[in-house]
Amino acid sequence: MKLDFSNVNLDNIGKYEERALAAFDTLMNKDGEGNDFLGWIDRPVDYDKDEFERIKKAAARIRENSDVLVSIGIGGSYLGIKAVDVACDSYFNSKRKTEIIYAGNQISGEYLADLLDYLKDKDYSLNVISKSGTTTEPAIAFRILREAIEEKYGKEEAKGRIFATTDKAKGALKQLADTEGFESFVVPDDIGGRFSVISAVGLLPLAVAGVDIDEFMAGFADGREKYTNKSMENDAIKYAAVRNMLHENGKDIEILLNYEPKLAYVAEWWKQLYGESEGKDGKGIFPASVSNTTDLHSMGQMIQDGKRNIFETVIEVENPNRDITIKEDAENLDGLNFLAGKNMSYVNKQAMEGTTMAHVGGGVPNIRIKLEKINERKLAELFYFFEIAVGVSGYMLGVNPFNQPGVEAYKTAMFKLLGKPGY
C-alpha cells in the first residue's frame, strides 16, 4: 500500500511536519491523553495466542452446526466486522458455510421481527459483543434473540450456541456468561471499540465467515512494521499532516471515496474511527464517504460545484480479484463498441482518473491510497494505517483521540425520556 499526494498542493506542508512528528512521539511514547487505550498499537504481535486458537475452534463448531451466526453489537462491535466481512465476501458466489447477520446495531422492531422470521427454519448461533452487557441496542436484541434460541433448542443446547465477547472479569454480560455457561472471549481493557476488530470482537465472527484470521493478523503486523517509524516518509504521519494542513486552510470535510462496492463498509468503519476520535471540543474534520461511480450520479454535482470546504481521499484498488472483458456487439445500439476488448477495471480506472482531474480542477484536493488488492492482509494493513494516522491527527488537532464523551449526551436524554431509573 502506498499514498500519492500529487493532487494536493504541498507548498506549506513544512509548517506541519514538526507538529506531526511531535504528535507521533506522543502516540508512540504513550504519554498523551487516552494513553490507556493504546493496546492496539502492539496487539499485532502481542496477543493471547491461546484465545486466538480457542476462537478458531469455536468458529469451526459454529460453521459445523449453524446456517447463520447472528453477530450482536453496535459501533466498534459492528462496523469493523461488517467492513471486513463485506470486503472479503464474493457477493453472489459466496462459498461460506455460515451466513453472518447483524443485529443490535439499531432499535428497529421491524428489523428484529423480520430476522426472527428468517431464523425460524435455520440452525443458528449468537455472538453477543458488549463490554458491559448493558448497551441499549445490543442488550435489547440479545434479550429477544436469547429467548428465541432457548425456545428453539432448549436451554441446554442453546447455551452451546451462545458466545459472549465481553469484559474479562466484570459487567452484566460477563456475569450472565459465567452463570449460564456461555463460552466467552475478551474485549480488551486497553483497546477502544473503534479499534477492536483486531481482538476477539472481530476475530470470532470473521473466522466464522471464512476470513483467514491468520492472514488478517499478519496484515496488522505489516502495518505495525510500516507505520510506526518516526519519519515524514511514514505515510500515516504524512497523511495526518496533510489532513491538518488542508483543514487549517478551510477544508472542513473529508470524503473517503472508493470505486469498488466491496469497500463501502470500510468507509462506514472509517467514519466512526475519525468522527469519534476527532469530533470533540468544537474541533474536527467531518468524515463523509461516497461510492463511485454510483454516487457521481447523486453527489457528483455537490462535490464538483458546491462549497469549497471539502477534500477527498480516494482508495484505488490496483489489482481486482476478478474482471470482465467487454465484447463487441454487431448492432452496437448502445454505442459501446469503442470499449470492445477492454476490461471493466480499465473503464473504472479511467472513470476514477477523469473524476480526479475534474474534482482537482474544481478546487477539491485529492489524496490517493493505492491498495494492491482486496484481501484480509491488505485490509488489515489499511486499518492499521488509518488507526496510526488518526492518533497523530487527533493529537495535532489538540484533542484526545481515544475517548468519546459526547456519545453519553444522547443516552442521557433518551434514558430520561424512557423513564430509566436514575435518569
* Marked catalytic residue, from 15, 57, 230, 411: 411
Partnered with residue 69 across adjacent β-strands are 100, 125
- The total of other beta-carbon atoms located within 10 Å of residue 94's CB is 12
d(C-alpha 94, C-alpha 364), whole Å: 38
Q: What 3-state DSSP class applies to 132? A: coil
Does 411 participate in catalysis according to the annotation?
yes
How many residues are given for the chain?
Answer: 423
**Where are the extended beta strands (E) located within 105-260?**
124-129, 162-166, 183-186, 253-258
Does 276 participate in catalysis according to the annotation?
yes
Q: What 3-state DSSP class applies to 40? A: coil
Q: Which has the closest alpha carbon to 200: 225, 163, 171, 169?
A: 163
d(C-alpha 356, C-alpha 1), whole Å: 19
d(C-alpha 420, C-alpha 423), whole Å: 6
Burial of 27 (0-12, 13-18, 19+ CB in 10 A): buried
* Marked catalytic residue, from 276, 278, 376, 387: 276
**What amino acid positions are annotated as catalytic residues?**
276, 411
